Amino acid sequence: MKSVLALLQFCTSLPLGKPAEFEHFARRSYLYPLAGYVIGGIAAGITYWMASPVVGAAVAVAVVLLLSGCNHFDGLLDFGDGLMAHGSREKRVAAMTDRTTGAGAVAAGIIVTLLAFAGLQTAANLPATILIAEVSAKVAMSWLTTLGAPFREGIHSYLHGFAKPWFIVPALLLALPLFVLPVPKMHIALALAATAVIAALMLALSRHLFGGVNGDVVGAANEIVRAGIILLLALL
């Protein structure tokens, strides 16, 4: 329970009392999907009662961003700056890790948010879609934490130091309860397969551009996977 509490204090803005020792979660980062159930479950519960798909989509996006404290969204913005920077690897890393917000950050934030918003409007089951997407996003975060060799010291390097290769298995297993949702089982399987593909692409791209992974890359993966799974489920 201490690990779960530390996870939720790290991944959400929920008022959960006295801070738990972060190491409890660091030793069990395969628990990331549990935060997806909490964040996605709250968003699903709120939007379940909304008749308008447009309003529901907007509220769902707002809820997942606010409940996560926009921490992962901030990673997406930083990743966008690094992705759009020109020049050497060092210049890309500098663009991603400085405190300024450039055009790449703005573009990344707008594109990913618009895709998620548009996809949710056309999803056959909006509450189930946001829950599946949020859990999938957290699975991706766990996988990148486990597999992404860090290029600098920080939260990611700390978590990666405790991660074991087998962590990718329980992280995936924690997503299996999604199959009880009133959604075609094949759609959920495809969502998890797409999560693996996007995570692999993020890992390869980050190794090529930055020489490894940091917390911004992991946070960006959360936002990109969420939007990607929403779009996939909307198109199926």
Three-state secondary structure call for residue 15: coil
Local mean pLDDT, 10-residue blocks, the chain (236 residues):
93 91 96 98 96 96 95 95 91 91 94 97 96 98 97 94 97 98 97 98 96 96 98 96
Identify the pLDDT of residue 10.
94
d(CA 131, CA 191): 12
Quote the domain boundaries for residue 176. 2-235
d(CA 54, CA 122): 9
Phi-psi region of 183 (alpha: psi -120 to 50; beta: other; left: phi over 0): beta
Identify the pLDDT of residue 1.
81
Please report, in angstroms and rounded to a whole number, the separation of the first and last CA atoms in the chain. 37
Identify the pLDDT of residue 184.
96
Residue matched to tokens 């069990």: 28
Identify the pLDDT of residue 47.
96
pTM of the model: 0.96
Domains held by the chain: number: 1
pLDDT tens across 149-162, in order? 999 999 999 999 99
Q: Find residue 213's DSSP bridge partners.
A: 150
Residue matched to tokens 């060092």: 90
pLDDT tens across 189-224, in order? 999 999 999 999 999 999 999 999 999 999 999 999
Any residues with CB less than 8 A from the CB of 122 and at least 6 apart, and which? 53, 234
Identify the pLDDT of residue 49.
92
Q: Which residues of 201-218 are buried (b: 16+ CB within 10 A; e: fewer)?
A: ebbeebeebbbbbbbbbb
Distances (CA, A) of 12 to 42, 108, 119, 217: 12, 22, 23, 18
